[in-house]
Every structure is written in C-alpha cells, then in structure tokens.
Structure 1
Amino acid sequence: MQKLVQKGPSAASRTATDDHWSQARRIASELDKVLDGSAPRRSAIARVAAELQLSTRQIYNLLARYRDDRTVTVLLPKTGNTRRKRLPSKIEEIIAATLREQWLVLEAPPLAPVVAEIRARCEEAGLRPPSYIAAARRIPALFTPEEIAKGRSANPKHLRRLKPRPGYIHAPRPLDVCQIDHTPTDINFVEVVDGAGIFVGRAYLTILTDVFSRCILGFCLSLEKPSSLSVALCLAHAMCPKEQWMAARGLDHDWPMLGRPRRLVTDSAKEFKGRAFQRGCEEYGIGIRYRDRGRVHQGGVVERLLGKLNAVLATHPGSTGRSVADRDEYPSEKRACLSFADLERCVALAVVDHNLQENAKTLKVPLTEWQAHAVDNPRFNYDAHDVLLTFLPGAERRLTPQGISMFALFYYAPWLGSFVPERDRLGKLEIRYDPRDISHVYVRDPAGVAFRSVRRRDGILTPVTLWEHESDRANRRMANARSNVEKVQLRREIASVAGTAKHKKTELRNAVRAGHAAGASKPYEAMAPVPPAPVEHPVRQKRRLPIEEW
C-alpha cells in the first residue's frame, strides 16, 4: 500500500523554500526602489522587469500585493491550494466525483488509472480532458489528511499519526505516577552450563520509572519472557531498600529511590491483566491505568529509558543491534563475553548513571529532583520477600486430607493438619508459587494474613522449576504413549470375547425354547380324525402239545 501522508518536508522542499525566500527578498528590494524612488513609475517598472527577468504585467501584480503591507511574505509563491481554479466547473465536478468514488477507497489504488477514468468521462461529456498534474493538485483541496488516512487505509495508526499529542501523563509529586515495561536487551550474554555446553542468548529487562523525577526505581533482568514473575521481581526491587542488593553484587554506589507507587501506567500485556498483579496492586493500594491500544507515546517515559539503557549496553561486545539491518552481519554471538551476573551489574551501573545524569531538555537531575521532593513521601519498611509473594502468580485450591494438589503434586505441612476438620467451612485457600522452584508453595494462613511455606508431601525437596517439571511430565507422556491401534487392540479382544459368550447363551436359550415347543400341544393333533375302534376277535384256544417224558 502506498504512503498516505508524508512525515515531513524533504531536503529538496526545504532548499526550494530557501530559494523562494531569497527571490522574494530580491523582489522586495527592487519594489522598494520603485515605491520610494522619484523616477517615473513606468520607466522604473520597466527597469525592475528587466532586472528580475519578468514581464511588466508580473511586476504590476507583485506591486499590488506588496504596496499595502510591504512584507517579504506576500511575495512568496502561492501554494497549490490558494491558486485560482481555471478549469470549468463541470470538469471540477467530474474530478471530485471520480476521486471520491475510485481513489478514496480502502484498496488505495494508484492515481494513474483514476486519472484515466477522469479523462474518459470528460471526453464522453464533450469536455477537454485535464492533465495528470491538474487532478493530483486537487486532492489536497478536496480531502483533508484525516479523510485520506481514514478512506485509504484500514490501519488506524495512519489516522492517529495525524492527531496532536499535547501531553498525557502529569505527575505533581514523586511516586504519583510510575510506568513499567519490558524489552529484550540489545546484547548477548554467555553462560557455561556444566556438562551441557555454552549458552549464548538475550535477557529480558523490566524497569519501573517515576514520571515526576524521571528516575528508575528498580529493574529485573531475567531469562524468561515477560511474565508475572518478572513483574513481581521488579516491583519488589523498586519498593524495598537496595543497599544489601548492591553490596551482594559488589557495587559501592548510592541508589536511594524506593517506595510504593500510587499509580502504575502499563500496557495491555497479559502479565498486567492477570489476577496476581491486580490482587497485589489492591493489596498495596496501587492504582492501575492501562495505555490505550496502539498509543505507545502514552508510555513514553519508560520507553525512552529502556532505549537509553539498551543504547549503553549496545556499545559493548556481543551487541545485537536494534534490527537485523543495524547489526549488519556483526557476529554478536561469537563476540559475546559478558556473563549473566556481569550483565546485571552493567545494567545496575547504567541505571545509577542515569539517575545522576542531567536531562538535556529539562536540565534536571533525577537524583536531585527525588531528594528535593520525595522528603514528604511516607516510607514503608517493606520486606522484599513479602512484596514478592504478594505479586507472584497464584491459584486457589481446596484443602483435602492428603494436602493441597498443584501441578499434579501434593503439598502438605503439619500446620495444615489442624485445618483438615474445618476444610468444608474454610473454602478455597489462597496459594502463591514461584515458577523458579516448585518444591514449595506458599499458602495464606487461614488464621492470619501471612503466607506460610508448604513443601511437597513426597519429601522430595530438590529445587525444580515449573518448566522442568512440565517438560518431564511431557517426556513421560511421550514415553508411555501408545498408538491408536494399540489403544483399541485389547478393547477389540474384549468385545470379541463378549460377543462369543453372548452367542453361546443364545444357543442354550434356543435349545430350551425347542424343548418347550416340543412339549406344547399342537393344533393339528386336535384337528386329526378319530381312528376307528379295533375289531374284537374270539380268543383262540391254544393247542397243547403232548410232552414226552424220558
């Protein structure tokens, strides 16, 4: 799709403007001689026309424009929008109608075929066809830039780019408004994994900034993509003192900024829409304001500081550049030399340097602004672990006699046993978990307000991450997987056995039925004729034979 609106004047247009101004100054100087001189007007105008290589008619027109105000501006060339139209009204109507019908559409066709249609319609109406330039110069007069952006593109960014941005976020005091966002670091780090090799990759950086003082309150550098875990780590780092954190990394610098934000401005990412983030903000009384979709400038403070930190990191070996074109085949993975711990220390030093650096526009130092205006802010002695648990991802589970079930594992602690008889009245328990180690979960004590640790019931306390656990389960499922044929093979045999048994029972039933049928009375026996009685014969006397005795 072609470009809808130019972003700014090109170098050629700026040079032409300078040339026009020089020419207008020269004309004004010559016209002053005509107006202030004592020579006859006609001869003076002829002399000026010869000097400027213009006609006397043009000099008279310029003199009429210059006589009243006598300013250089009135002598500048008129733009296309202010020139008098010289085409007939019918041609103007055809041009306007055709441009609106065929050019100002979402398909955004080029102008050439539309001009061909304009010329064809003019010829059909018996009018002289206009030129391409004549049609093109009427577009700014017929349509506003907003109408062009809305009519020729379905992407709202073209229309938003034309609207003013006078300002969005105003913070009268420190911590009144803070912004949080993520970005991948523009540098690779190197880690040696025992028995596995060398890993080279980019980390993800999350920072929390104060809009009033422009200082960075805290950050989180992690290997995982932006999630509720990185948000929880960043907020815990920003809301709590950092002396021990800095000392653990061998950094002897002051970082006094800390505190609870009153309002957080975020984008609409899922980690800021999750229940854990919203519950945590409600717990500490932090208001949430989401940036409007597609309007990155509403989070301009944090976006600019993310770019500033990345610009500092990109000057060291292993830089990935802002894009593939910016990297220009630079071997960033081969040149990487910083470990993850070194990269975290570099980010911390870059943050401290920013807090001490003067803003070139406002001429204010973030640290000075913070110290001057954050005196009246209430100071809360938050524990980093408590803040982290509040913002960690969580869930709700019912207590069973076996404990609490999560991630296909059971968790149990002796202190939970006293609540088993009351489990029906307790309802679901609030649980938090750290994806970096699911050997323990954290359950809010029903008798109190604090979270308490609960370990796995099987007694395995080896730290394991959530993604390792899910990967292990996926591998087991894959190892135990059976094909669809194997799944139904035994079922088919069961069906075959059941079918055979059913067939034998049917045969026995038929045999019993045959016996009953044989013993039942038959209608044809009743319908058969009665046989005649047998004829009686006289009893025949048996003749006795003589018996010979020996």
Structure 2
Amino acid sequence: MAGISKSFFKAEPGQLVESDGELFKITHLMSISSVLAVNIKTNESVRLHVENLVPISPTEVTEKKYEERLHPDLALFSDDEWAEAQRRFQAIKPLLQNPIRTREDAETIATKHKIHPATLYKWLKLYQDAGHVSSLVPTKRGRKTGTKLLASEQEKIIESAIEDIYLSKQRHKPQDVIEEVLRRSRLAKIPPPHPNTVRNRLAVLSPANTLRRRGFKEAARNKYAPILGQFPGADYPFSVVQIDHTEADIILVDEAHRKPIGRPWLTLAIDVYSRMIAGIYITFEKPSATSVGMCLAQAICPKREYLAEVEVGGEWSVWGVMGTVHTDNAKEFRGTVLERACEEYFIDLQWRPVMLPHFGGHVERLMGTMANEIRKLPGTTFSNPTQRKGYDSEGMSALTIKEFERHIVEFIVNVYHQRVHSQIGMSPKQKWELGVLGDANSSGTGVMPIPADPLRIRLDFMPFFERSVQQYGIQIDGISYYDKVLDPYINAADPDNPKAKRSFLIRRDPRDISKVYFLDPVDQRYVPLPYRNIGYPAMSAWELREVQQTLKTQGMRNVDEHMIFEALDRMRVRIEEAKQKTKAARRQQTRIPLPKLPVVVFSKIHSPADKSMNQNERNFGMAEDDPFAQPIKPFDEISIIR
C-alpha cells in the first residue's frame, strides 16, 4: 500500500523534475504557477504546471532510480533531540539570513557557539539539502540522546528532587539537588545515581520553564517569549501570515430538507505582504486546533484540486511555508501538535498581546470585508439586532454549508484577489506576483517551494496518538483498526527497553475516523488503516465523543466497539426522525461523514442504459485514501460498476 512522505522543492532554473513519467530540466519561470522546461530525452521545450512536478536529484538520474529521502515524523523525536536541533538551527540562522556570507562570518559564529567552522557548514548543508529543522536532529552512533538507563525508582527520585528543590523560588544550586538525591536514595535503600547523571537531568530542563518556576517570570518572558509588540517586517510574500476565526453572520440550511441549522465558523489566513488570502476552513464546529491546522495546511499546499472540489473557476496560486504565523491568544492556537508542526516547518508561531487586537489588524479588516460580503446573502443575521429588525434570518436562509463555501471561495478568488486594495495600491494578486517574480526595480523570492505530498503536510497538523500493535491491530478510543502492514509489529518490543512494548505513531482526521494513518518505522511513510470490522459506518470524532458520553450517562461500563456502533446507529435514527423538527438535530446531521462513493469508470462510449442515468448518478466520484478534497477532473459521461 502506498505511503505518504514529506518534502518540499523549489521550482527554479536548473532543477531536474519529473512530469507524467518524463524527465525535464527547468529553464525559465513563466509565471507564479508554471515553468518552461526541456525534455531531457527529446530536447523539446514545454510549459509545465508547477503543481504537477516531482523533483529529481542528479544522483537519482545517474542511478536510474527515484528514491525519496526518509523523514521521521516530528512527533517521534525526544525533547532532548528536538532541543539540540533547535540549538543547531539557531547557530546557522545568521548564515541563512545572509546570502553574501563569508568564511570570516562563519568563523565568528562558530567561535561564538564553541564549535568548529566545518561543523557549522555541515549543519548548514544538512538544513539546505532537507529544508526542515528535523534534519538537524543528531544521528550519532550508539545510544540516542535522551535515553535513560536508570531504574524507574532512581529516575523518580531525581525527578522529585528537581521538582522540590531546584524548580522552586528558593533557587537552590545544582549541588543541593545532588545531595538531596543522595539522601533520598539512602532512605529508599536503592543505589544512588552518579552526580553527573543528576547534572545531565538539570541541563536538559526547559530554560524558560526553569526561569519561571524559580521566580524569574519577567526574565523568562523577555528572553524566550515571542516578540509580541511587533513582528518581522512583511516585506516579501509569506513573511507574515495572520490567522483568525469568526462566526459568520448568516444562517445556513441542511442539505436534505433546506431548513435552518445555524451559523458556521469561518477560519481565514491572510498574507500580510500582499493581502492574498492563503487558506480557508469552514465548519459548524467551534474553533479548535483542528480548524487552525487544516487552515494552515491548506495555506501551505496548492489549491487547484480544492477549487475543482468546490466548483470554482480561476487561479489561487498561493502556496509555500510562511515565515511567521501571527494569531491571538485563544487556546486553539496553542498546543503540542500545532507548535511542533510549526517548528518542523520553521514557522515562527507568535501570539498577539492580550487586549491589543490592533496587532491583528490585517486579518481583522479581512473579517470585516467578509462580513460585508456575507450580509448580501439570504439568511444574513447582520452584525446586530438593530440592523436585523424586520428581517427574518431563518425564514430567508437558503444556502447549505457547501453552497456558502463555494460563494466565499468565488469571492476570494475572482473578486477580492482581483480588485485594487486601498492600502497597497494594487490588487492582492498583482502584489503577490510582484513579490514572487520581481520587476525591473526589485528581485522576487522566486516560485515558492511546493510540497511534494500535500497529504503528508495535512497529517503533520492533525492530532496524533501513540499505540502498541496487538494481534487484533491497534485501538484508539475503543475502536480497532487493522491492515496487514501491522503484522511485522505485533507485540513488538521497545528497542530501548525490551521489557516494554513498542509504541507507534498514529494520526487521525477527526472529521472521519473510519481510517487512521500508521507511521511505518521502516520507510517512515504513513499507511492508512481501516476499521478492523470494515462493515462499520464512518463517523466523526465529535460523534464518537457524544456516543461515549451517552453510554457513560447510561451507566455503561466496559464499553466495546460493538456497543459504540450500536449506540451510533440509535443516535442516527433519532437524528433522522428529529431533523425535520429541530435545528439541533439537523446540525448534528452535518457531523456525519459522507458515505463512501461507488467506483466509477470514465468512458466516452456508453450504452443507451447509461444515457438514462439522472444527473445525480453522473456526479459520482472516486473514493481515495486522502480524507481531504480529491481532484475533480472534467469528463463527459460515466458508467457505474454495479
């Protein structure tokens, strides 16, 4: 089964690429979304779309094979390994920011960090070749950094002594901690750890947390917190992206009966330099880390397939990794998954100061522009009751969430991006192209590096779990998943602790948990795992939570997946009976994942029976592993495999 890898490449002259199985060399940049390239075999020049290109290295061409580099998932690194990668990145950062650097510059930086210049250049090459921070994680032979060989009792004594003695406002010295560890070891009658082991545990503590716990909150904030009063000048595309949510001022209707169900939430990301909208996410669920992650993932990835899905014509040629993401202080903008994903792609995640909304002025103005557009639609609630007086928002509501999303995307792509923006004196699209391609007076950034596998990017922003593999597969929230790819890992032992079972990384799309994604440790690729019982219906994580809460209130104990899906069936029957009566039930219906679509065969020749199909039958698509939008290709007729 095909896996999922992650990498980026930048389309620029001289780059070897593959397109439709042919090898090309890029010669010119024609636009922000296309290049001119020469076919290596035929020497013919052709125009290629950037989104269809796959990068190829000279070594791969020589060896006549295309091997992708393996990138371990960022969640697998220990805190020590990740801290070391961050330290190395900070060392090479001045060199990255200085394109005309000299050997003297490198020697100065190396002296400052107490390393040899050759080591600094080695780190620089590792980062430039891979394009991500995780390439700087140390790969030394032997025991991995952060491996703990002490008995659990010894580790607990060290941890408790550090917590009680060192991380306190009394500000004890490391020697005090060592003496306390020795004292507690004698009382517990266990061999005391070596003093250097205690010192090592102190050395890997978070500097910011240590300062805060020892009473230096202001010093920790000044040294380690983001510079909240300002962000780096947005003087090129994707240098700064702002993101925020709003509850749209409109009542939408359900798909089945066209009756009101409530207001949707709109998440938007905007490039401050050009005012181009970088990403969008619309849902009935309240803002969450998933909303933020999906919006940022869409901002990083190309959007041609998404435009086809929502049936909007035009171009939305915005993709790439942003330098800074600026958000407010809401809890959905904080969390391990989001923060580590941003660190992996070298995205500086900054939070604006509390009670100072003007620091998010660009996205706030965008939300105002969107609100003005939404007020033109049927079912608007306006911005306050006074404006709404005399207007029946629910009675006038007419758009489903899909129709609403189509209208918003149409406005973004073909109106907002095209018209002159008062603050930049040109359209956002023109400003973006100027920043990317440059002109006679300025050099552009060049076409943004494009993700080779968009699904891998999206997975990196999804929630993750760690599970061992049992004979039945793996289990998450009481539901079992299985695929034969798991067989070699059944009851596998932890390589670092043979007495413990090995844990594997699993990612899950909360909108459809009928499959999860297993990170195969051999080739570092994600493989989709379906339900062990493939007869169970798809459901969302939100539905699962409601089912589990219902069973809990009913006093159910030792709940298994059979009970979960029986309860799900009962809940959906009640929703089906009630959705014509209440908004809440119809809103709940929107949380049910769409049913799997039948496989279709595209054909230009069809029988009279094919012609008798109605339009709905002709609109069936192909279901794929990607839980996100699949490309919709134009076609004339289809025939359905029964």
TM normalised by structure 2 equals 0.47
Separation in structure 1 between the aligned mates of residue 503 and residue 352 of structure 2, nearest angstrom: 34
Residue 200 in 1 paired to residue 239 in 2?
no
Tell me if the contact between 2:319 and 2:450 (Cα under 8 Å) persists in the aligned partners. no
Separation in structure 2 between the aligned mates of residue 423 and residue 440 of structure 1, nearest angstrom: 25
Residue 314 in 1 paired to residue 389 in 2?
no
Tell me if the contact between 1:178 and 1:261 (Cα under 8 Å) persists in the aligned partners. yes
Q: 2:504 aligns with which of 415, 426, 429?
A: 429
Structure 1: which amino acid aligns with 2:250?
Answer: I
Separation in structure 2 between the aligned mates of residue 170 and residue 325 of structure 1, nearest angstrom: 40
Residue 184 in 1 paired to residue 247 in 2?
yes
Separation in structure 2 between the aligned mates of residue 354 and residue 409 of structure 1, nearest angstrom: 45
Q: Deviations over 1:498-528 (max 9, x none)?
A: xxxxxxxxxxxxxxxxxxxxxxxxxxxxxxx
| Aligned position for 1:174 | 237
Distance 1:286 1:183, change over 3 A: same
Separation in structure 2 between the aligned mates of residue 311 and residue 440 of structure 1, nearest angstrom: 39
1:432 CA drift (Å): 1.2
Distance 1:362 1:462, change over 3 A: same
Q: Deviations over 1:124-183 (max 9, x none)?
A: xxxxxxxxxxxxxxxxxxxxxxxxxxxxxxxxxxxxxxxxx9976621211111111111
Structure 1: which amino acid aligns with 2:482?
Answer: Y
| Aligned position for 2:466 | 396
1:395 CA drift (Å): 2.2
Distance 1:257 1:459, change over 3 A: closer
Q: Deviations over 1:400-439 (max 9, x none)?
A: 3443221122222221120125333274322211111112
1:442 CA drift (Å): 1.1
Residue 362 in 1 paired to residue 424 in 2?
yes
1:297 CA drift (Å): 0.9
Residue 279 in 1 paired to residue 344 in 2?
no
Distance 1:395 1:324, change over 3 A: farther
Q: 2:295 aligns with which of 234, 239, 246?
A: 234
Percent of aligned pairs with the same residue?
32
Distance 1:460 1:373, change over 3 A: same
Structure 2: which amino acid aligns with 1:409?
Answer: I
Tell me if the contact between 1:410 and 1:456 (Cα under 8 Å) persists in the aligned partners. yes
Separation in structure 2 between the aligned mates of residue 421 and residue 176 of structure 1, nearest angstrom: 46
Q: Deviations over 1:277-326 (max 9, x none)?
A: 12221232212111111211111111110111111111222111112333
Q: Deviations over 1:9-50 (max 9, x none)?
A: xxxxxxxxxxxxxxxxxxxxxxxxxxxxxxxxxxxxxxxxxx
**Structure 1: which 5+ residue stretches go unaligned?**
1-164, 483-550
Q: Secondary structure at the match of 2:394?
A: helix
Q: 1:349 aligns with which of 398, 410, 414?
A: 410
Distance 1:447 1:168, change over 3 A: closer
Distance 1:405 1:247, change over 3 A: closer
Tell me if the contact between 1:444 and 1:450 (Cα under 8 Å) persists in the aligned partners. yes
Q: Deviations over 1:412-470 (max 9, x none)?
A: 22211201253332743222111111121112111132221122233444211112222
| Aligned position for 1:444 | 519
Q: 1:373 aligns with which of 431, 435, 440?
A: 435
Tell me if the contact between 2:469 and 2:492 (Cα under 8 Å) persists in the aligned partners. no
Separation in structure 1 between the aligned mates of residue 520 and residue 235 of structure 2, nearest angstrom: 39
Tell me if the contact between 1:399 and 1:423 (Cα under 8 Å) persists in the aligned partners. no
Q: Secondary structure at the match of 1:333?
A: helix
Q: 1:220 aligns with which of 252, 275, 281?
A: 281
Distance 1:324 1:397, change over 3 A: farther
Residue 456 in 1 paired to residue 531 in 2?
yes
Separation in structure 1 between the aligned mates of residue 534 and residue 286 of structure 2, nearest angstrom: 31
Separation in structure 2 between the aligned mates of residue 341 and residue 193 of structure 1, nearest angstrom: 12
Distance 1:382 1:310, change over 3 A: farther
Separation in structure 2 between the aligned mates of residue 243 and residue 231 of structure 1, nearest angstrom: 21
For residues 21-40 of structure 1, what are the structure 2 equivalents within 5 Å?
none
Tell me if the contact between 1:192 and 1:199 (Cα under 8 Å) persists in the aligned partners. no
Separation in structure 2 between the aligned mates of residue 247 and residue 280 of structure 1, nearest angstrom: 27
Structure 2: which amino acid aligns with 1:368?
Answer: Q
Distance 1:449 1:256, change over 3 A: same
Tell me if the contact between 1:455 and 1:461 (Cα under 8 Å) persists in the aligned partners. no
Q: Secondary structure at the match of 2:291?
A: helix
Tell me if the contact between 2:245 and 2:268 (Cα under 8 Å) persists in the aligned partners. yes
Q: Secondary structure at the match of 2:261?
A: strand
Q: Secondary structure at the match of 1:316?
A: coil
Structure 1: which amino acid aligns with 2:233?
Answer: H
1:186 CA drift (Å): 1.2
Q: Secondary structure at the match of 1:303?
A: helix
Q: Secondary structure at the match of 1:374?
A: helix
Structure 2: which amino acid aligns with 1:326?
Answer: Q
1:472 CA drift (Å): 2.2
1:345 CA drift (Å): 1.1
Distance 1:415 1:169, change over 3 A: same
| Aligned position for 2:186 | none
Q: Secondary structure at the match of 1:396?
A: strand
Distance 1:289 1:395, change over 3 A: same
Separation in structure 2 between the aligned mates of residue 244 and residue 481 of structure 1, nearest angstrom: 44
Separation in structure 2 between the aligned mates of residue 382 and residue 301 of structure 1, nearest angstrom: 30
Separation in structure 1 between the aligned mates of residue 535 and residue 494 of structure 2, nearest angstrom: 29
Tell me if the contact between 2:459 and 2:507 (Cα under 8 Å) persists in the aligned partners. yes
For residues 58-137 of structure 1, what are the structure 2 equivalents within 5 Å?
none
Residue 405 in 1 paired to residue 475 in 2?
yes
Q: Deviations over 1:207-260 (max 9, x none)?
A: 111011111112111121111222232123222222222223332212212221
Tell me if the contact between 2:320 and 2:451 (Cα under 8 Å) persists in the aligned partners. no
Q: Secondary structure at the match of 2:417?
A: helix
Structure 1: which amino acid aligns with 2:525?
Answer: A
Separation in structure 1 between the aligned mates of residue 517 and residue 466 of structure 2, nearest angstrom: 11
Q: Secondary structure at the match of 2:514?
A: strand
| Aligned position for 1:291 | 352
Distance 1:312 1:382, change over 3 A: farther
**Structure holding more helix per residue:** 1
Separation in structure 1 between the aligned mates of residue 537 and residue 410 of structure 2, nearest angstrom: 34
Tell me if the contact between 1:202 and 1:223 (Cα under 8 Å) persists in the aligned partners. yes
Distance 1:461 1:386, change over 3 A: farther
Tell me if the contact between 2:302 and 2:450 (Cα under 8 Å) persists in the aligned partners. no
Separation in structure 2 between the aligned mates of residue 459 and residue 166 of structure 1, nearest angstrom: 52
Separation in structure 2 between the aligned mates of residue 323 and residue 263 of structure 1, nearest angstrom: 34
1:481 CA drift (Å): 5.9
Separation in structure 2 between the aligned mates of residue 412 and residue 166 of structure 1, nearest angstrom: 49
Separation in structure 2 between the aligned mates of residue 429 and residue 323 of structure 1, nearest angstrom: 50
Separation in structure 2 between the aligned mates of residue 447 and residue 373 of structure 1, nearest angstrom: 41
For residues 468-487 of structure 1, what are the structure 2 equivalents within 5 Å?
468-480=543-555
Structure 2: which amino acid aligns with 1:257?
Answer: V
1:480 CA drift (Å): 4.5
Q: Secondary structure at the match of 1:220?
A: strand
